[in-house]
Amino acid sequence: VPGVEQVRIAQTQSRVERTLIAIASGKGGVGKSTVSANLAIALARGGRKVGLVDADIYGPSQPKLMGVEGTKPQAREKTLLPVPTPYDVPILSMGQMVDAGSALAWRGPMAASALGQLVDADWGDRDTILIDLPPGTGDVQLTMVQKHKPAGAVIVCTPQDLALIDARRAIDLFTKTGVPILGIVENMAGYTCPECGAISDPFGRGGAEAAANDLGVPFLGRIPLDIAIRTSSDAGTPPAAGNGAEAEAFVGIAKKVAE
């Protein structure tokens, strides 16, 4: 993969003390990328200098979510320069490294080396870097915890998810390697009626919070299943950048993460 090999891992440019926060999930499709984008924006609104790494080789979606699809990052002295977004959250994505699809065929070491280039990029004054990990517990996650040693991990799940072995396995990966779980975000919790805004709970309520208590990790909050979240995300305008109830929910979660 020429694009990957041309750009070597950065040497030393750690002028700023950086906190890495991993965002993980047991399986795909639970809204991990959506939560990562919105949490990054909410943290930035709270005054943090935030950067976002999209390490999800199976479905890199941050360029689209953050409204910069198709923009390739530049490099200076073999170090990648994060792509600015309209939300004061520069990003780097596996999807910007190669054309969509080919990252899927990467062997473990290639994905690990690509992750290194994204994490060790020229993040400038950024003090907090969120890492949107692929779902599950594969090579990228292992490299993340062993080599890059995040300060903590946020687990995203859906209401039915935490009882499943997958989410617990994701939590295990971090706790066994000494990475604190900052907490669990329950996404797609309840359904927001597009007509009247009322929230109903087709899958029950409180399951993830109970499971978090059971596991001894903080519960960070719930985000409803809301068509507006999907449409605004697809349009590259994450709701956390706006002024609606969803923005409030993400700002609340960001406050707990920032503590």
Which residues are documented as binding site?
26-33
Instruction: For the CB of residue 7, give the shortest distance to ligand ADP in the complex, in Å.
Output: 25
Instruction: For the CB of residue 59, give the shortest distance to ligand ADP in the complex, in Å.
Output: 6
**Largest alpha-carbon pair distance within the chain?**
54
Name the residues that contact ligand ADP, by CB under 6 A: 25, 28-34, 59, 61, 187-188, 223, 225-226, 229-230, 233
Considering beta carbons, is residue 9 or 199 the nearer one to ligand ADP? 199
Burial class (CB in 10 A: 0-12, 13-18, 19+), 146: exposed
Considering beta carbons, is residue 1 or 163 the nearer one to ligand ADP? 163
Instruction: For the CB of residue 35, give the shortest distance to ligand ADP in the complex, in Å.
Output: 7
Considering beta carbons, is residue 85 or 187 the nearer one to ligand ADP? 187
Considering beta carbons, is residue 38 or 117 the nearer one to ligand ADP? 38
Residue with smallest beta-carbon separation from ligand ADP: 31
Considering beta carbons, is residue 41 or 225 the nearer one to ligand ADP? 225
Q: Long-range contact list for 214-218, CB < 8 A, 24+ apart?
A: 215/168, 215/171, 215/181, 217/155, 217/171, 217/181, 217/183, 217/184, 218/181, 218/182, 218/183, 218/184, 218/256
Instruction: Summarize the annotated binding site for ATP as residue ranges.
Output: 26-33
Contact 229, 239 (CB under 8 A): yes
Instruction: For the CB of residue 218, give the shortest distance to ligand ADP in the complex, in Å.
Output: 20
In sequence order, what are the residues at sequence separation of 6 or more whose Cβ sits closer than 8 angstroms to the Cβ of residue 114? 4, 57, 94, 97, 103, 106
Compute the distance between CA of residue 217 and CA of residue 41 in angstroms, rounded to an integer.
24
Compute the distance between CA of residue 29 and CA of residue 97 in angstroms, rounded to an integer.
22
Instruction: For the CB of residue 94, give the shortest distance to ligand ADP in the complex, in Å.
Output: 13
